[in-house]
Structure formats: structure tokens, C-alpha cells
Structure 1
Amino acid sequence: MSTGLKVLEKLGEGYGYVKEKAKEAEKKEREVAEEIKAKTKMVKDAEVEVKGFISNTTFEDLVLQETKEWSGSCTTDGFPATILDANNNWFIHVASTLTMPRGSKGAVVYVSKEPDEESSNAWVVAWSVPGDGYNKIYAEAGQMSKYPKGGIDWQKIESKLDGSSKEVNVRNMEDRLEVKGHIGDDAHHTLFQVTFAGIID
């Protein structure tokens, strides 16, 4: 075999080697891309996002007194500090299902902005979105004296929340207060809507 043919043969072998390595690299790249895609989907599926929408028809302005976050955190600029009468406000609460405790679970307490003898009320709403579709909402309403700042029995409220459902309808005829609301079905991105109200009939 001439020297020229040997050189061409070597070049051919080298080209085949490079081509094979390129195929292996492409295969590895595809595998890595699929792995990243799978992990991204897993993380996305593990995220829980809850939008809380609160309406105020209590005939008075309300202010935030206290919050409780068993799991997750508020992503907006904190929970709304004030909800004016005949208005509404909202927040977004996020969490993960990869860490314990799982999902979004919290509560907020709003009270009369200017309490007096005729108007010294409190409204509580609690939610649980664990990421498995078993979403729950719970609420209470009563005199502010029953919900002292820093003295609320959160363990009791959590227990009632755990035993609640996706609908809430509270009527406190003694204090003329009402809470109505519901929470959505979606396991990862859902909305709860609740109305704090005064009873006039």
C-alpha cells in the first residue's frame, strides 16, 4: 500500500472516531437535557401557590392583627395591612411539597380598625393546600376579646382547619357577623375567596 493510501486510511479512521465521539456527545447531551427537564418538572410539580382573596362587607375598615404560617410564606409585600369597607385585598402564599411540613398552610386575623363599644370585632380565615388536592378552608368571627394579639390558640384553630372542607359558612348571630368562602380544587395553584361581613337583617 502506498504512503498516500495509508495516510488516507488513517484520516478515514480518525474521521470515523471523531464521528462516533460526536454521536456519543449528542446522546449524552440529550440524556442530560431530559434529566434537567424531568427535575424541572418535579420541582414545578412540588410548588404550591395559593392566592387569598378577601372581601370586606363589615361596614367598617379592617386591619391585620396577626398571622400564622404553619408552612410556606407570603410572596407579596406581606399580608394586606388594611382592607377598607366595601373593598377587597389579596395576597399570594407559596410553599413546597418537598420539605416538611408540606404545602401552604396559614391563617390571618383581621380586626376592627377603630374598635369601640359597638364595633370591636375579629375575623379569622385559615387555609391548607398540602399539594395533594385535599384543600381546606376554615373561618371564625367574634369579639376581639376572644382573639387577643399573641394569645390566640393556634393549635385549636389548626385542629379545626384539619377537620374542615373546601367550603365555609359561618353565622355568628350573637355578634351579627358572618364569613362565607371557598377554596379551589387544584393541588398546586389555587385560589380561596372569603367574605367578612356584618349581618343587618
Structure 2
Amino acid sequence: MNTERLYLYTRFERFWHWAQTLLILVLLVTGFEIHGTYRLFGFETAFTVHNACAWTWFVLYAFIVFWMATTGEWKHYVPTFLKLMDVVRYYVSGIFKGEPHPVPKSERSKHNPLQRLTYLGIVSVLVPFQMVTGFLYYTYNQWPAFGFAGALTLQVVAVLHTVGAFAFLAFVIVHVYMTTTGHTLTAHIKAMFTGYEDVPRH
């Protein structure tokens, strides 16, 4: 395959990608233990670690938003429906037939239409949803002072937060699978360590 090497992922981009990966995995493991799914660290330790990771992620998320806004990287996440169905068909059948990707990566466009919609949905909907429900869960004893008493129940917030956790778990599983769909099995993963990726010439 005729390829060219492109520098696609900056040092900070790679840092926050792996930092978020670690935080999400720890939050999932400790969160499900807090929920009573299993016993691994013990409730108190899991609770402490979970909250520390949550606040760390909140700070990191603020830096990521600021970085995207000031560097122009937000342009790579602007949604588009151009060739969206071509990308869907590629992942459903074309990839198994050895067909070329309908939207190759480039320095101008690092994410295909399906990725853009997915990442935008996670950054603008799922992450804030999980942070808000987590904050409400954490501050349950302060609800009367916030004026939430009677308007919400702890059980509803707990269920919503757990639903968000399962959504993140589903994303992680799909995301890990998608990392194997490059021109080699590890091409995408290597790119998130080095910043460089070999992509088909177009």
C-alpha cells in the first residue's frame, strides 16, 4: 500500500487521550464497586479514588476545552454528514472486503464523519451528563441548600449516573475495537503514542 507519514496528534492531545483513558477505566472499576457490583478495593477506598479521579477529570476536561478553543483543533470535531453513509457502509461491509476507507485521514481532517459525530456527542453530551449526575450524587446531603429537595431523588440520580457509566463502557469497547481497523492492527494505537500515522496516499 502506498502511504505517507503524517503528524496528526500533538503531544498534549496524546497526553489527554491517555490520561482520559486511565481516568475513565478507574472511574468505571471504582464506580461499579460503589454500586455494589463486586468487591475489589473496599467501599471506602473505591469511593475516595472515584471522587479523586472525577475531580481530576473535571480539571483535565476544562484544559481540553480551552486547548481546543485556542488552537483551532475544534475544527476537527465539527459535524458533517458528507460521506457519512459511505463511512457507515465501509465499517459494516467494505472493511471486510479490503475496500479503501472512503474518508482517509489528513492533516486538515483527522476524523471521519462518524468519528466527528461520536466524539462531539461524547464531549458535549455524555461527559457533561456524567459530571452533573456525579456531582449531584456526591452532594446529596447539600440538596436542601441547593433547593433540590423534593425535586430529585437519590435513586433517580444513581440510576442516571449508572446509565451514563454503561454508555461509557460501551464506547470504550467499541473504541478499542476501532483501533484495530487501521491499515495494520496497531497503526492507530502507535499513532496515539508517537503522533505520527502512516495513511494511504490520496
Normalised TM-score (structure 1):
0.21
More strand by share: 1
- The structure whose Rg is larger is 1
Normalised TM-score (structure 2):
0.21
More helix by share: 2
